[in-house]
A = this chain, B = another copy of it.
Amino acid sequence: MAQPAMVESRERSDRDELLRDVMDRIGDKWSVTVICRLDDGPLRFNALRRAVKGITQRMLSTTVRRLERDGLISRTVEPTVPPRVEYALTERGRSLHGILAELVAWTEANLDEIRRDREEYDAAASSQAEQ
């Protein structure tokens, strides 16, 4: 039999850096929302802007460029005047969205209790501060 070490080639700390590389990308304020919106279908710049409530032009521009750089979304320009630019999830982006959808489901299932725990924690902390 082969040693487990041959299959388990990555150390834990390597996985840490790996995961952080992706978390740094999708952990910003807007990336996950943009991915979720585009999972419903391709959108042009201003339509996407309207779909992602609260985002500024600058941040949408920055976010889609970074996602395109990582091959998670595609950017298609029709050279008309004025130009039409369409953004869509790539296959890689769709596969990532599948996992994010699980995170959404987990959040919906847990967030109410988490918020209660937060209040409880804050109440306990502030009552202790009064001592």
Contacts and interface: CB of A to CB of B under 8 A. Distances in A.
Interface of A: 10, 12-13, 15-16, 18-23, 26-29, 32-33, 36-37, 40, 52-53, 68-71, 92, 95-96, 99-100, 102-104, 106-108, 110-111, 113-114, 117-118, 121-122
A52 B16 CA distance: 9
A10 B52 CA distance: 16
Interface SS of A by simple majority: helix
B29 A16 contact: no
B103 A19 contact: yes
A107 B40 CA distance: 23
Contacts of A106: 22, 95-96, 99
Contacts of A19: 32-33, 36, 100, 103-104, 107
A104 B11 CA distance: 13
